[in-house]
Amino acid sequence: MELFTDTWHYLLDADSWTGGGGFVARLLEQLLLTATALVAAVLLGLPLALWLGHVGRGGFLAVNVSNVGRAVPTFALLAVLVAADWPGSSDFGPYGRAGLATLIALVLFALPPIITNGYVAVREVPREVLEAADGMGMSARQRFRQVELPLALPVIASGVRLALVQVWATATIAALVAGPGLGRIITEGFARNDYAQGMAGAVVVAVVALVLELAAAAAQRAVDPLPRGRSGRAPDAVSVGPTTV
């Protein structure tokens, strides 16, 4: 009980939120890491996944490459990248020490749900809808832009939503190589036996993850072109294997 009280006091202490090592600075670092990794993963993985889904090929490749990506521990990949000559552990602009290595590891971690959901989203568009579009004389490009993509958006958004929360939570591992983010507060607290600091950092990570999840869920509902009844709900993210951090 004393630990929870100390954690609460640490969170309420204004000094915990200020300075270069405070919650605000570390929070901004982790948000920057998360946003950059997510945008890069979307730009790299989503066009390929949508194209494969549109042409109806490469499903085995898309799903199994994603499964391989899920099976590789992110920390193990980060350790290899930091130990290598490139990218190594040098500073990388606003991302700090081992910033580039951390970004690469997080991008690879974000790709599986984005690729899998993007491919499945397009493939699950009802065949009768596609036949109707063909009957109206739509070209392949028009059919994709006006029919397949709008109907696939909820499942695509669910993959991005899943990647967002996963990357946010996993970005804390950057602290294990002295990188940026809230993980530094957690690891420094436990290293000094200041368990209140470590717990406070974990609480902030969890609270922000919940906020991101709620915001992403609202965005997913906003892009859904189909009306939902009281009992209806948007499609969930596709899960094709265990996720390993």
pLDDT, tens digit (0-9, with 9 covering 90-100), for 153-171: 999 999 999 999 999 999 9
What whole-number distance in Å separates Cα of residue 143 and Cα of residue 54?
Answer: 10
Take residue 143 and report the two structure tokens written for it. Answer: 């059919």
- The CATH label, of 3.40.50.1000, 3.40.50.1370, 2.20.28.270, 1.10.3720.10, for the domain at 2-222 is 1.10.3720.10
By the 8 A CB rule, do 59 and 51 touch?
no
Give the residue, 233 or 105, on which the prediction is more confident.
Answer: 105
Question: Does a cis peptide bond (omega within 30 degrees of 0) precede residue 87?
Answer: yes
CA distances from 132 to 6, 50, 129, 214 (A): 63, 20, 5, 36
Token pair listed for 120: 């499945």
How many other CB atoms sit within 10 Å of the CB of residue 231? 5
pLDDT range class, residue 224, cuts 50, 70, 90: confident
pLDDT band of 219, cuts 50, 70, 90? very high
Q: Which tens digit of pLDDT belongs to each residue from 15-74?
A: 999 998 999 999 999 999 999 999 999 999 999 999 988 887 777 777 776 676 667 788
CB atoms within 10 A of CB 53: 26
